[in-house]
Amino acid sequence: MTIAQKFNLIFTAVFGALVIIAGIAIYQFLQYNARNEVLTQAQLMMQAAAAMRSYTNEQIKPLVGVRRTHEFHAQWVPAYAATQLFGYLRTKYPEYTYKEATLNPTNPRDRAVDWEVDVVNTFRNTPDVRQFVGERDTVAGRSLYLAQPIVVGASCLECHSTPNAAPPQMITQYTSPADGFGWRLNEVVGAQIVSVPASVSAKLADGALRALITALICFALITLIILNIVLGVIVVRPLGRVTAAAEAVTAGRLDVPDLPVSGKDEVAALADAFNRMRRSLLGAMTGRQR
């Protein structure tokens, strides 16, 4: 095995070990960053849904306020508007889901299931908590979720205080007209929940790790090529000249020219020592012939 081959083998082994050790450490950091990135995206979506609720409540409902006693359209409802907005967002972000999980909703699709009931009760039992992040197991795997409470405002009571106060068409539109009433001002009745599979952040971390490893491998290859060129010029070629000269002397050719000596490194010292040895041997041979 040549010096270059040994050097390449050692370099590859050392660099490979470093990449593995660094990859394990960096992957934890990438996972943390990817999780935060996913949750930041969920936060933006939550804010968009909240903004749609505010827009519908403050600008759309006043425009149709006069007609609400005679007719009802779901588009006037802030929760419906926010849910529809998120439906459009899902065309670009299909992994994310949104639900206004409510303990006593008018629309059956908003009824909270078991784990969502726990989320709502967390907000009901701890009023100071305005938002939190959780994880849960699903059939598809681990899932992250971001939740914030739905608090009853004065505008909510226009439809959800008593059936008599609600638009008649709203009552007849849903199959459970007894639901969605009895809400009280400032009561937490539900939670806005944005969910996303944990695999989304895992894919981001995996992609970032693959990109990093690819970059490191490319860097290692370029470095290895450059080092091999430098090794060839500084070490391998000079040693090759020493070897060729030594073989010539061994064959009895003492008239070979001196090897070039440049610098003060080990290779230069070896060439200088060989030159002195050849000259001494030549002097000894010449003295004997005389």
Q: Kindly report, residue by residue over 131-147, the tens digit of the pLDDT.
A: 999 999 988 888 999 99
Rounded average pLDDT over 215-240: 85
* H/E run at residue 178: none
pLDDT more than 70, % of the chain? 93
| Segments of the chain assigned E as strands | 97-102, 132-138, 141-151, 188-197
**DSSP line for 235-258:** IIHHHHHHHHHHHHHHTT-TTPPP
Structural domains for the chain: 11-198 (no CATH), 207-289 (1.10.8.500)
Q: Kindly report, residue by residue over 20-60, the tens digit of the pLDDT.
A: 888 888 888 888 888 889 999 899 888 888 888 888 888 87
Q: Cα separation of 54 and 50, whole Å? A: 6
Q: 80, exposed or middle or buried, with CB in 10 Å at 0-12, 13-18, 19+?
A: buried
**At residue 158, does pLDDT exceed 50?**
yes
Q: Is 197 helix (H, G, I), strand (E, B) or coil?
A: strand
State the pLDDT confidence band at 125, using cuts at 50, 70 and 90: very high
Task: Work out the mean pLDDT of the chain and round it to a whole number.
Answer: 83
pLDDT more than 90, % of the chain? 17
φ, ψ at 229 (rounded to 5°): -65, -45
Q: Cα separation of 278 and 261, whole Å? A: 14
**At residue 288, does pLDDT exceed 80?**
no
- Evaluate if pTM is beyond 0.85: no
**Cβ neighbour number for residue 148 with a 10 Å cutoff:** 20
pLDDT, position 287: 61
Q: Kindly report, residue by residue over 57-76, the tens digit of the pLDDT.
A: 888 777 765 445 556 777 77
| Segments of 65-212 assigned E as strands | 97-102, 132-138, 141-151, 188-197
